[in-house]
Amino acid sequence: MISDSSSVLLIEDNLGDIVSIRTMISELSDGVFELKFAESLGEALKILENENFDVVLMDLGLPDSQGFRTFTQVHNKMPELPIIIITGLEDEDLGVNAVKEGAQDYLVKGQVDKKLLARSLKFAIERKQTEEELKSSIYERDILLKETHHRVKNNMQVIHSLLSLQSHYAGNMEAVNVLKESQNRIKSMGMIHEKLYNSSDRSKINISDYVHSLTSNLLTSYKLSEKILPVIEIGDLELNLETAILCGLIINELITNSLKYAFPNTEIGEVHVSLNWVDNKYELIISDNGIGFPKDIDFKNTNSLGLQLVNNIIFQLEGEIKLDKSVGTKFTINFENLITS
């Protein structure tokens, strides 16, 4: 529905057309229209800089502008403002092109009556109102989503701190290490919410930036930043929240294993992470050039909580995981149903 009062800017230099259009508008029963005039393109652009309107009615032939350029000058300046072209040019191709380029309607002088003008104004103003309501709804949703990510991140930080505090009271190094690993799992998920909170698009995350941050955090956690070189090769991929968390947990567990066991004497080494689209599948590879995976351990059937978690995630994604022990340790994970946004 048109609001009780709608503002209209009429851009027209012909006095007879001004009177005719003003008369038709004054006789419309559906709403009250506040009409303002501009007799040139330059005058109209100055008015639009300082005042808001619900719709623009414009002729294409003005003293300082002729043809379709007249429309584009106003549309480029105010792309969200509905513009109804009302011109003496009876050109069907021009009319079709005008609508394609963003005009609300194309009316021909001499063929326009009160009913036709009323319908065009009604559709233009209702469209503007609908778009504004939609933008408001999207903005409110974005604020809510941002606040949700912020709170989740903060809650995870609290859990992380509690685990850190608990580690000071742990009775042995095994318990300390278990708590540290739990801290890193919490940290890996909290980092995703932090990045989404700071992102302009809170529906997906740049996985390359995330993996760099995650790997750096793990190296710092195990005090190996100066010993182990991270090599990250990630394609131009953006993942949604669910998938980013799952990938983050896999990477967290397998890099953690490398840092704990692949370099027993904290010798200099490398850990590699890559994620790319290969043969119609996503391929995630985590590897190191350390001493190698123990030959007597079946990584798919082990008491290790980390490896159990990895296998459960792979099962959830309906993927497969392979281990290559020829040089260091190399896990290759393929997903067919990796969810992207």
Asked whether residue 29 falls in the same domain as residue 125, the answer is: yes
Picking from 93, 114, 134, the residue at the C-terminal end of a domain is 134
The 10s digit of each residue's pLDDT in 186-198 is 878 777 777 766 6
Q: What does the longest C-alpha to C-alpha distance in the chain come to?
A: 96
Note whether residue 27 is domain-resident.
yes
Full DSSP string of 171-219? SSHHHHHHHHHHHHHHHHHHHHHHHHHTSS-TTEEEHHHHHHHHHHHHH
Note whether residue 168 is domain-resident.
no
Confidence of residue 184 (pLDDT cuts 50, 70, 90): confident
- d(CA 14, CA 19) in angstroms, rounded, equals 9
Picking from 85, 112, 134, the residue at the C-terminal end of a domain is 134
Answer yes or no: are the C-beta atoms of 72 and 43 closer than 8 Å: no
Asked whether residue 218 falls in the same domain as residue 304, the answer is: yes
- Degrees, nearest 5: CA angle 213-215-218: 110
Note whether residue 91 is domain-resident.
yes
Q: What is the pLDDT of residue 340?
A: 46
The 10s digit of each residue's pLDDT in 195-251 is 766 666 666 777 888 888 888 888 888 888 888 999 999 977 877 778 888 888 898
Q: Is the dihedral of CA 94, 99, 102, 105 positive or negative?
A: positive
Note whether residue 143 is domain-resident.
no
Asked whether residue 341 falls in the same domain as residue 209, the answer is: yes
Note whether residue 194 is domain-resident.
no
The 10s digit of each residue's pLDDT in 87-104 is 888 877 888 888 888 888
Note whether residue 49 is domain-resident.
yes
Domain that holds residue 307: 203-341
Asked whether residue 126 falls in the same domain as residue 14, the answer is: yes
Full DSSP string of 109-127? TTS--HHHHHHHHHHHHHH
Q: What is the CATH number of the domain that holds 331?
A: 3.30.565.10
Asked whether residue 13 falls in the same domain as residue 130, the answer is: yes
Q: What is the pLDDT of residue 341?
A: 42
Please state the three-class secondary structure of 50-105 as a single string.
HCCCCEEEECCCECCECCHHHHHHHHHHCCCCCEEEEECCCCHHHHHHHHHCCCCE
Note whether residue 181 is domain-resident.
no
Cα of 55 vs its chain's centroid, Å: 30
Answer yes or no: are the C-beta atoms of 257 and 302 closer than 8 Å: no
Picking from 112, 134, 156, the residue at the C-terminal end of a domain is 134
Quote the tokens at residue 240. Answer: 């949604």
204 contacts: CB under 8 Å, gap ≥ 6:
238, 239, 240, 241, 244, 340, 341
- Degrees, nearest 5: CA angle 276-261-161: 80
How much is the pTM?
0.56
Number of structural domains (the chain) is 2
Q: Which of 207, 170, 43, 49 is nearest to 58 (CA)?
A: 43
Q: Which of 322, 312, 319 is nearest to 339 (CA)?
A: 319
Note whether residue 243 is domain-resident.
yes
